[in-house]
Structure 1
Amino acid sequence: MEKNFEVIIIGGSYSGLSAAMSLGRSLRQVLLIDSGLPCNRQTPHSHNFITHDGENPAEILAKAKLQVDFYKTVQFYNRLASEVVKTQNGFEIKTESGELFTSKKLLFATGVKDLFPEIKGFAACWGISVLHCPYCHGYEVKNQKTAIVANGEVGFEYAKLISNWTKDLILCTNGKSELTSEQMQILKKHAVLILEEELESFEHNDGYISNIVFKNGEKIDVKAIYARPALKQHCSLPQVLGCGLSDQGLIKVDLMQKTTVYGVYASGDATTQMRSVALAVSSGSFAGAAINKELIEESFV
């Protein structure tokens, strides 16, 4: 297998594959390294991505990989990238299996890891009936009894947003409310029920929520839950290189998807709070074009 490439992409989900296609069509020698753990792997259906609305995410990935594989300058390596070193001419990437590869440019499309709260059933329901994005999943649970797990300003803004999809809405603050009196009045005006009891578990059937169970023993039946768990970078290598992170823990990029380290780009969920397949594909495609442009500028002297 070839060891030296113009571009190495770490992360082979929607954004990484999109960047690989863009670069493959630009005749670049590309290696895509992927460990095979997309964050939406237990989500049954992907939505709001035109031409693929309602498809299974794994099927979209398989189709994308097959299409990228058409471009023979793109190679795939199914391993975990474990080490990175910046060199005089670019970068060295080492995988967990000990393989060493070099490149002039590097793209991280590694996504983020969700840090689930200690609520039994939360992880099992994540992406199925515990949802993060109404644009991705709200239509499927429209006008149904829905809970939001959040507090304070986040809870208020989340309730305001989700009220567009359903008026049968409960805000679970999972402990003492941090809402202002004005926010509580507005939510009550819009018939949003506020519950401050601490959460114990989610009763579900294969990930489909049936009841929220509180620590005081009470239950409420709901059909869907919205939540935004804390997150961290799925891959620590951008930080090893010194790439800057935002206050939200996202990789800082400019309008060209460049990080704070020259020659290093990032795209997809690792860079934005707006997590969707369509946006991941868009940022990956743009990053691929931006990397190709930088390579041209460096050689055309």
Structure 2
Amino acid sequence: MPGPVGPPAYRRGVSIELRWAVTDGPAGTAAVTLPEDGTAARVLGLDRSGGFWCSREAGGCGGRLVLEARDGARPHFRHSGDVRCAFTAADAGPAYELLRHRRALGAWLAAQGFRPVLEEVPGTSGLHVVVAEVSCALAVQLSPLPDTAWRERDDRYRRQVRHVTWLYGPAAESAGDTELAVRGVAYAVRRHNTGLLVGVRDVDGGTRWVRLGACRLTADGFEAPGAAEARALHACRAADRQEAARRAARCAERAAQGAREHPRVEAPPVLPFPA
């Protein structure tokens, strides 16, 4: 079972507005975020009449939450009573964002008959998902990741399974650029309602967005509509570069050969006029 997604350490005397919750119990994963509009927030409260909790799976306390949506004030959740919780002093957003991705990926893989192992990557907003049945791993990265760290993790994951697929959130786009340059295709990921969208990026700067449900995980790796076309485009661009390099080399060789066959004749020195 995956461990909870933890927030920064608890600090007394600091209060941060809580805008995230779950609707399926103290250890739930059905995360919701409050809309900015008070009326929309009240409608959300009516739709989720079963209540809201501070999810232990996100690193919270598991306690009940009360929806506050007063006129003229920004909607937010508050704990019932004086509760010691990490989310009273830390932004819950990153932890719940990761929780929503974990839930969507887990459901997508379960629908294909897999039993994945989902783990949080310590020290970063990321998930490592291993699907042993097809020797595949998914790496979800939602926070910035330096190039050296990306290469180290990618190499480590590839020593464990045959296929590794990275899914990059908006903040990790530069890491996606690195993979795009290396492999000719990279996958962006965005939340869409309760599910996820996958963006297939190609070397010409295009991105084709598809629902996660349109993708599949097989013994050959992650399959998404548009990925084969992106790889073909990369191969075409690589072939064009190689051909351009060969033409440049041939031109340089012809120029060098011409210089050998027709060496430059130095003009005779100008003698001084006799006095």
Relative to the length of structure 2, the TM-score reads 0.29
Between structures 1 and 2, the one with greater helix share? 2
Bigger Cα Rg: 2
Relative to the length of structure 1, the TM-score reads 0.27
Highest relative contact order (Cα 8 Å, sep 6+), 1 or 2?
A: 1
